[in-house]
Amino acid sequence: MEILDEGQFHYINKGQEDQLECHGYKRDRIKTSVTVVFAMCTLGLLFLVFYWKPEWFVWAQFTSCELVDADVVLLRTMDEHRTWSKETVKLETGDSMLIHISSLEARCEDGKDVHQMQELSNQSSDSSPLTLSDFNRQDSAVIHGESSNCQPDQSLRYFIHHCLKYMWNAEKKTFEKVRGLDSGIPCSVFYTLGHGLSSTDQANRQTRYGDNAITVKVKPYIKLLFYEVLNPFYVFQLFSVCLWMSDEYYYYAAAIIVMSLLSIGTQLYTIRKQSEMLHQMVESHNTMRVKVCRSGEDWEEVVSTNLVPGDVLVIPPNGMLMPCDAVLITGNCILNESMLTGESVPVTKTQLPSQSSEVYSPEEHKHHTLFCGTQVIQTRYYGGEKVKAVVVRTGFSTAKGELVRSILFPKPLNFKLLTAAYRFVLVLVGIAMIGFTFTVVWMALDGESVGEIFLEALDLITICVPPALPSALTIGIIYAQRRLKKQDIFSISPERINICGLVDLVCFDKTGTLTEDGLDLWAVVPTKNDSFVPAIQDLSMLPLGPLLTAMATSHSLTVIGGKLSGDPLDRKMFEATKWELEEPGSEESTKFDMLVPTVVRPPHSMVLLHHSPNEREYPYEVGIIRQFTFSSSLQRMSVITRTLGSQNMVVYTKGAPETISQLCRPETIPLDFYEVLMTYTERGFRVIAFAWRPLEDKVKFLHTQRMSRHEIETDLTFLGLMVMQNALKPETTPIIHQLNGANISTVMITGDNILTAVSVARECKMVCPGQQIVEVTALAPADSTPAAITYKVSTKHIEPEEIKGADVDENDKRDQFTFAMSGKSFAVIKKYFPHVLPKLAVGGTVFARMSPDQKTQLIEVYQDLGYYVAMCGDGANDCGALKRAHAGISLSELEASVASPFTSKRATIECVLTLIREGRCALVTSFGVFKFMALYSMIQFMSVLILYGVFANLGDIQYLYHDLVIITTIAFVMSRNSAYPKLVRQRPPTSLLRPPILFSMVVQIAIQLAFQLGAFYFLLAQSWFVPWEDYRLCNDGSMNSTINTTDINTTMESTLKPCTVNYDSESDEGVLTYETATMFGVATFQYVITAFVFSKGKPFRQPVHTNWLYVLDLIILTALNVWLLLYPTQPVAYFVELAQFPDFTFRLYLLAGAVANFVISWLTEVLLADNNALWKWLTVSYHQHHKKKYQVLQEELLYDKDYGLPVGAMLSQGTGKEINPDDGHSGDTCIQIDDSTYL
């Protein structure tokens, strides 16, 4: 397609994952008329092609134009598939389009808060956040198609693509995705919405956003049938059936019709059931009653479909199913988000910071966002105030809507097997066209009728390109999915099973994945006079004070159904204190003069005494006034508390020690802080730090609700450390060992401390004994100092006997070191050293303190390097990475977690081995089935072409025997081999176009052709043989004048006697011949031979003999073939239309030829095609020029002084190297690092 000018071609969703090219087209009546004429001439087939190729439909009937004038738009994805789709531009006009400046906008423009927000907006350098008035003005411009000083034309132009609405923006002269309040809105704006929208505002916004509904229509069977039948596969089958019926191949045509109907029926039933399940999943929250605020007056009950962004929703105390995405502005909520994340642990959501100037983002502020489809279990509120949330996204724009769209419109997989399969089918089509041309020319020279010529020639195409090929390729996946289900591994994307067989790198989360989910509190290390005191392992010895109170309050636990529920770490910590937790609502909670979320108290009756005799004595109880829930990106959480009887409130903060230390006053940090921390982290313990700060007396309850997190978490006093023991799961080390043995790289991506992560990596052998750890530290530019990377290498974890640098094999030198880095360094390197990141990723093993987004980014880096990546995790923090990976495996109790393509109900990483084994098995099975189906078509093609050469053909029953009795049964049971139990270093082939596979197919085709020609010419050499051509000529009236019919008939009667039926019957002409019988007999054995030869056993599948049904099928088919060749009874021979040879010795020769065919085919496959050493030697130059990016980088890392240390040198002390982004090379400064800082 020619490049269009900027007025006709725009990018929409620019810079986002779903970026699209948008081309405008306007209908051309002349083109349309010509297209209709051609469609009529082709009996509608042209429109069928247009159905498959929507871009051709547009190019044939429309002319490119500017987007503003477009009747339709062509959208093209920007991924490697470059897929086209067509959408119709709709135009709505009428009084309903007239948008007035809302009272809400006026209210915001007059308000002081908005003025402050606009000032903040003006100070933003990169992307200025929108104020609400900007948002409303944008609504007006978009809906009207006007600029700020134009009059509205009362029209609305838009199109809908993948269930999302794209509206025309007249100012930008392009279509834009309709967005809610989830982009560019400062957090403080939401508190100006507390009074809700007016009815006019609501109606205007609903015009733009439409109904708040995730609609999944359940299509009727007749419509599903129509779409299914128009599939190219079934169209080709329909063509084949029509051809066979016209050629009087009734039996096989009927059999194909029955098989197709069964296949279509099964497919329709599956699609319908999935559609119904999806419909039920989303329908539950589509039509529910909710309470919203209208213009600050009364609370109004409305149907959830009427909700729009900006509505203020009331969350009832007993919870609800969320019908939209909304952000909390008052109160707290406890939710079950298992539908989205796969985690069954309830999470606490708190209100959005009211004074924050941050731009709101559902991902960044997920701890304040209630997502559509999640279940609010209960709410926490203050006094009589209602728990309110502002609607930010509705319909398919919500988190659940995105999930449903990903199911309805899955991303096409870039899988080499499918690509190569399509290319090979094109090769088969080319071969078929050669046969087609030969048949047409040969039969035309013989004087056959045009109809007969085209029937026979077209029949060759259906032979050479088997219609059952796509179905045969999916059988192995179906069997693999069933085997996975038996092992409690469920899949929502079965087509990814084959890709699992290609996995060469596995990324693991740490906590709950490699280690036990439950943590045990090992010890507490308090501070006294700003110094650490000896660790306390018995918490009953810990005195009542700030540290113990911090442990009892710094959590988001709640009581559900009488049981303590929440994060496992929080639960273990709180249970260790043996304190009591009380939910609000009881009489005791009124002692705090207000309703608070949670009250905690020591187990015994402790009394807070006051020195003044006039003051009351209060029991020691602590109320949690406000929570700042744990944030993976911030790596901490905080609470504001008030002790009963106390005049001031206290802040307690818990989080990563490195993070907490930066928030504390330096004088409160013990001098040996890092040494003590390293003592525990190097032993694999998980360490949590605590800090506190009493607030001033003047800070009251209402003030605390307005304070930002930054104001709270500053000038803290360090309290001490909590040491948690996180033991490895017993299965972890053996499985990592098997993955390493199979040459599958393993990487840890965790949010934990880097020292703890390295210790766990060494313990589970992810970092092998003898390997050096090179810590990569990157610093962002500051003042005049440029960004820099520092490398620190250590042998501290290596035993002395392991340091034998001289004995290291040259080929294994790259395995003598590995990189470790933190998420902070990862972010700096990604921004300032993008050329360094690929090598660090290839050489890295431990990535610690990684945020959820960074985990996803690292997966993308690995994929760009050519890895097939698997990701195994157990929590919400891994969702993005699980979805991004080629094979995401969620350890969840749910049967099908929407967080990833695969879900294991067994919470161990053993599922990774199982999935890779089954993936390899399914992949090799797919290759074997494809090769078998290709050989089947070529064997039949070659035998039919030979028979066409003598004007003979196979009979209807013979075709039926080949295609149904032999091919269909083999295809169905050939894939039943289960996976080989051991994971080996050898990798399965990634493509059908690999040299060994191409060699196997080409050589096997040549072998089968050689035996077919050998049998044919051996038949011609028999003394009793009279060619069918001679008999045909003597019965053809046109030849009677030139042929001595008497002599021919005499010869036939005395020697030939080829059949027992009337040769004058037109239907039997060319079937009951010795040529046909010979080719039929040879081909039947060749089908069984190739099936056996292509049935691979170990190292990826169990041996063939374990598939007893397949072996039984081959035995039965072989026995049938021998019987039909040697001793067919007269009725059977008559039914099969099989001519019987007068010489029994000839039949034995054919049987011996079949045995020789088997031996040669099998030896060729085993000794040549499957000889890995031979192919490695033969294709050394091929591999040198077809290496993946990561393989090239692995070689470069052997001696690369720019990005790492010379690997061959085993250093006994630390060495640092620096590079900066100005030159990308090593700095001249060699920094000596103290041994205590080593990993």
Active site residue ranges: 509
**Cβ contacts of 39-44, under 8 Å, gap ≥ 24:** none
Strand 531-532, strand 902-904: pairing: unpaired
Contact between 904 and 890 (Cβ < 8 Å): yes
* 876/886 Cα distance (integer angstroms): 18
Our CA angle for 902, 906, 907, nearest 5°, is: 90
Look up residue 2 and give its amino acid: E
Which residue from 43, 32, 35, 10 is spatially nearest to 175, judged by alpha carbons?
A: 10
What 3-state class would DSSP assign to 354? coil
The DSSP secondary-structure symbol of 729 reads: P
Q: What is the largest CA-CA distance in the chain?
A: 142
Contact 849, 751 (CB under 8 A): yes
CA distance 66 to 1236: 66
Structural Rg of the chain based on CA atoms: 37
Placement of tokens 């045509």 in the chain: 253
Cβ count within 10 A of residue 807: 5
Q: How far is CA 901 from CA 481, 492, 895, 1075, in A?
A: 12, 5, 11, 54
C-alpha 487/C-alpha 903 separation (Å) is: 11
- Sequence-ordered strand ranges (E) for 539-685: 558-560, 563-565, 580-582, 598-601, 607-608, 618-619, 622-631, 636-643, 650-655
Q: Is residue 728 within 8 Å of 764, Cβ to Cβ?
A: yes
CA-nearest of 586, 620, 584, 624 to 604 is 620
CA 809 to CA 811: how far, in whole Å? 5
DSSP state of 629: E
Long-range interactions of 237-245: CB distance < 8 A, separation 24+: 237/467, 239/462, 240/462, 240/467, 243/455, 243/458, 243/459, 243/462, 244/459, 244/462
- C-alpha 487/C-alpha 481 separation (Å) is 10
Answer for the pair 892, 874: CB distance below 8 angstroms, yes or no: yes
Query: For residues 677 and 669, is the Cβ–Cβ distance under 8 A?
Result: no
In degrees, to the nearest 5, what angle opens at C-alpha 21 toward C-alphas 15 and 23? Answer: 150
Residue 615 sits at φ, ψ, to 5 deg, of: -85, 150
Which of 1156, 1189, 742, 1161 lies closest to 984, judged by CA?
Answer: 742
How many other CB atoms are found less than 10 A from the CB of residue 204? Answer: 23
Q: What does the alpha-carbon distance between residue 195 and residue 177 come to, in Å, rounded to a whole number?
A: 28
Question: Would you state the structure tokens that stand for residue 588, as one six-digit string?
Answer: 């005791």
Look at the alpha carbons of 691, 693, 694, 695 in this order and tell me if their dihedral is positive or negative: negative
- Cβ neighbors of 392 (< 8 A, separation 6 or more) are 180, 181, 182, 309, 324, 325, 326, 327, 360, 362, 369
- Token digits of residue 112: 């002081």
Record the tokens describing residue 386, joined without a space. 């209602």
